[in-house]
A and B are shown apart, each in its own frame.
Chain A
Amino acid sequence: MTDRSNDETIGITRRETLHGGAVASLALATPPAPAAAQLPAPARLPAHAREFGLQLATSINGEPVSVAIDARSSLLDVLREGLGLTGAKKGCDHGQCGACTVHLDGRRVASCLTLAAKADGREIVTIEGIADGETLHPMQQAFIDHDALQCGYCTPGQIMAAIACVKEGHASSREEIREYMSGNICRCGAYVGIVAAIEQASTKMRRA
């Protein structure tokens, strides 16, 4: 067994860079998820990971990001554990539930099945990047209007998939929405609301 101390191996981690000072509010407050503009400066990998290290240059929610990653990392784990973008969720880690859905060059992908390295030079959009300041994306507003959620865990993935579903032209009828949204499981069973929300938002998105 090893029992290496933190200090010998890693110095400061990206998480510390990102979340320094957040600990006092841990028990009570909900610190806002960092916007892309607040993403940390490129940090160096922990020493042990350098043998697997890669430098990833990508764009996340419209902001250029350069970050050292472990070549084994999924895009989901880099977003969540490396960059503090925890909107995309891990529900299965096997591409079976859709909770981790993000957009890669405008296409919906299961970020848990996407190697982070594959995002190099490409554009990533996550749930944190679709609202315009305080103004919600029409799909977000529609999810509120139709209560298209319960626990909210699958919701970011549902919304990202729903936006793509509309843009792909797969929201022309309820039947088509149901079919093209069946990669995103909602265990709470808010499907009726999700379909109604996509119907509402697709009309608004087409007008926009």
Chain B
Amino acid sequence: MSIERNPDRPRIDAREKVLGKAQFAADRPVPGLLHAMTVPAAIAKGDITAIDVERAAGVPGVVRVFTWRDFADIRETPATRGGGGDKPGYQPMKRPSVRHRGEPVALVVAETLEAAIEGAEAVSVRYRPSSFTASREQPGAEREPVTVDHRAGDAPAAFAAATSKLDVTYLHPQQHHNPIEMISTTAAFVDGKIVVMEGTQNSAAFKFGIAGMLGQDPQSFESSSPYVGGGFGQKNQLQQQSALVVRAAMLLKRPVKLVMPRSQLFHTATYRPLSRHRVQVGAGADGKFEAVLYDIEQQNSRFDQFGAAAGEHVSRMYATPNWRSTNQRVRVDVQAPAHQRAPQEHPSSYATECAYDELAYALGVDPLELRVRNDTQHDPITGKPFTSRNLAECLRRGAARFGWDRRKKEPGSMRTRDGMLVGFGVGAGAYKASMSPAVAKLRVNADGSSRLAITGHEFGQGMRSAVAAELINVLDIDPNRLEIALGDTSVAPQHITVGSWGCASSAPAARAAAELLRSKLVELVGAGRAKGPVASAIARARRPFLEVEVSQAGLEQPATVFQRLNSGMPAPVGPEYKQFTAFSWIAHFAEVHVEPSTCRVRVPRVVSVCDCGRVLNHRTAQNQVRGGVVWAFGAALRESAEIDARFGRILNNDLADYVLPVNADIGEIDVELLDVPDTNLNISGAKGIGEVAMVGATAAIVNAVYHATGKRVRHVPIRIEDLL
């Protein structure tokens, strides 16, 4: 099946954004709004023996001080933060106890923000602390049994028999998403319903999940999140504050807004947990893999179900006849971790792609050549073909764009004219190609305006641009007169937009709607008169408008999947399908410069080539890859939560001390997208791009640091002191 390629087009909502008119959750005008502020727990574990609210209640402007007594009837359900599967999660402020530092213990609501802040500072809480464990190294850390997640052949035996062996362990720190939009929750009353406005990738949770926690009918709730100020997985679910703010508004019968301060979010919102990766590779002298044993240990809270799937993509990266990956959770007294951009794929690719680099140097094989030699068109785990895999092409094209042939083999052998040590590094990545059900409602008016209401959330990845592309292509509509409503439970059923399945689910729904509308027009006026811009054809048909609605399931999904969609439940499919396995693929090449006396590391350029299926919007897709590389830079050289295990506290809980990549850190990032449609997967030919963008890029930078310095650092972030 052939399908048109998309030309260069601007981002569909860029104009609103540069005008400052895009309204994020905390920007939305609500008459009579009250402001809330939370009081964070000052202990890591224990009981609350008393809360003195009198002084806070006396602060002029304070309307009410809520404590656990007001929220004891909120239910913990699988939708609650820290749930997963069918297990209930943990909701703070339900009882007079604390399970992790920084969880809210009081909520002050006031007429103004200033009064709410002063009120929160005036709340006095007395605790009876109990002993706790804040680190996996401390006594009291609970080790769960080791589980095997992916297996092929007999990896232990094949490893024992291999001629060349490598056994290395890599450490990855705790990291925090830190989208620049702090998480805010506003509960307002509109037309007899409670509308929850929180920047989220999962508005359905704010209709169905909130209703369940508050013992209400979901039909009493709507959730609206048309713009999200960055998500990266931190906005996947209800937050600790969400049900509290909604219940407070219900009790006060007035709208309430809470913008949780950044310092508190470090302790209440999710994060990428600390992990340890042991990689054992057995290979032939030619560098062909014979066996890989990969064992991951990952920190978790006492109550969260996040984990597993750690070997999902790395087991598919190369022809590995014998594979075994295991994972183990280690539970301590912290808040729940969860998905952060390329949740398992980033740390797993970091550890394995660095280990393979070590193997290449040990065998004297070019690291690029090692990857190409181990290329495969079949999934080593299932034996099925990949629906599309152009990784070798990504590696070859990337090497050419980068100038990999200028690489000198010996570490520390390349220098710039001004004396900087130069390193070249390569890393590759993959991310599952999944899909979820989506509903699209399209109306095109004879006057040339149109409106699309659709399942999906926009957090900068370019969802609006992706769905608009299909309407423009099929119907030749005017994008400047197209209104797109999404991330809103009142306009279409909503599904959680994560895991790089967003655009690959919503774009096919938009395309199906566009094709249905075109065929309706053909029925009305005949094929000849239905051609060209659809609005003109509708006008020629003397209709004021045409409208259609389609329900588009993911590949192989039964019609019953819409029952899940309509009740706010996640319903993704992939990466394993009946006939094939599906992934997006990427190759990254990094050049680093290391100043030889101070060991300051710079990354002047990165080249990334990606196979993400058909490109829906070139600008937004390329931007996603650049963003993934910036994230990988942060992981390689900057980001780490510094935890004081004595107090269970994150010390660097602000944006000055949790060091994020800034403009001066980032050099040139050259991106090529292969733009090969994968119409086996869906009618848009799209696979995901937002997550794969980051996978393998940290390894490319770390490997380049080794090439520049000859020092193999097996933890990130690599800092000056590691190289001195």
Contacts and interface: CB of A to CB of B under 8 A. Distances in A.
B255 to A, nearest CB: 9
Interface string B1-35: 00000000011011111111111101111111101
A86 B27 contact: yes
A187 B114 contact: no
Contacts of A143: 14, 18
Contacts of B181: 89, 91, 151, 153
Given A46-B61, A151-B228, 6 more contacts: A33-B20, A48-B112, A49-B112, A81-B35, A86-B20, A147-B620
Given A10-B111, A187-B179, A19 B619 contact: no
Contacts of A3: 63-64, 252
A190 interface: yes
B623 A152 contact: no
A193 interface: yes
A26 B188 contact: yes
A140 interface: yes
Contact of B654 (A48, A51, A92): A92
Nearest to A82: B112
Contacts of A24: 190-191
Given A48-B111, A189-B628, A153 B24 contact: yes
Nearest to A81: B113
Contacts of A10: 111
Main secondary structure of the interface of A (DSSP, over half): loop
B514 interface: no
Interface in B164-199: 177-182, 188, 190-191, 195
B559 interface: no
A50 B229 CA distance: 34
Contacts of B159: none
A148 to B, nearest CB: 9
A97 to B, nearest CB: 5
B230 A194 contact: no
A193 B227 CA distance: 20
Interface of A: 1-4, 6, 9-10, 13, 15-16, 18-20, 22-24, 26-28, 30-33, 46, 48-49, 51-52, 70, 72-73, 77, 80-81, 84, 86-94, 96-97, 99, 126-128, 131, 136, 140-141, 143-145, 147, 149-156, 159, 177-179, 181-195
Contact of A147 (B182, B623, B666): B623
Contacts of B22: 30, 152
A24 B195 CA distance: 11
A10 to B, nearest CB: 6
Given A81-B113, A147-B11, A187 B180 contact: yes
A81 B184 CA distance: 14
B100 interface: no
Contacts of A88: 20
Contacts of A149: 11, 14, 17-18, 460
Contacts of A90: 26, 182, 259
Contacts of A92: 182, 262, 654-655
Nearest to B670: A192
B627 A150 contact: yes
Contacts of B229: 89, 91, 151-154
A158 to B, nearest CB: 9
Interface stretch (B389-397, B421-429, B485-493): B485-493
Interface centre among A136, A184, A186 (most CB of B within 10 A): A186
Contacts of B29: 15, 18-19, 22, 31, 84
Contact of B666 (A81, A127, A192): A192
A52 B115 CA distance: 11
B30 A153 contact: no
A89 B180 contact: yes
Interface stretch (B371-379, B526-534, B657-665): B657-665
B224 A26 contact: yes
B57 interface: yes
B485 A189 contact: no
B30 A28 contact: no
A109 B99 CA distance: 40
A132 to B, nearest CB: 12
Contact of B18 (A4, A20, A159): A159
A35 B195 CA distance: 26
19 contacts: A2-B63, A23-B188, A30-B21, A48-B115, A77-B113, A86-B23, A91-B181, A99-B180, A127-B20, A131-B19, A136-B18, A151-B228, A153-B181, A159-B18, A179-B664, A183-B662, A187-B180, A188-B627, A191-B626
B262 A189 contact: no
Contact of A87 (B21, B111, B118, B261): B21
B60 interface: yes
Contacts of B62: 2
A89 B24 contact: yes
Contacts of A153: 24, 179-181, 227, 229-230
Contacts of B230: 150-151, 153, 187-188
Contacts of A86: 20, 23-24, 26-27
B630 interface: yes
B574 to A, nearest CB: 24
Contact of B180 (A49, A52, A154): A154
B502 interface: no
Interface string B97-119: 00000000000000111110010
Interface centre among A10, A30, A88, A179 (most CB of B within 10 A): A30
Contacts of A46: 61, 111-112
A137 to B, nearest CB: 8
Interface in B593-635: 619-620, 622-624, 626-631
Q: Which 8 A-B pairs have the closest CB atoms?
A: A87-B20, A189-B630, A153-B229, A151-B460, A150-B460, A152-B17, A48-B60, A189-B627
B668 interface: yes
A15 B186 CA distance: 15
A56 B31 CA distance: 23
Contacts of B23: 30-31, 33, 86
Given A46-B61, A184-B663, A91 B112 contact: no
B261 A193 contact: no
A6 B31 CA distance: 12
B157 interface: no
B276 to A, nearest CB: 26
Contact of B30 (A26, A181, A189): A26
A97 B28 CA distance: 22
B627 A19 contact: no
A127 B178 CA distance: 23
Contacts of A2: 57-58, 62-64
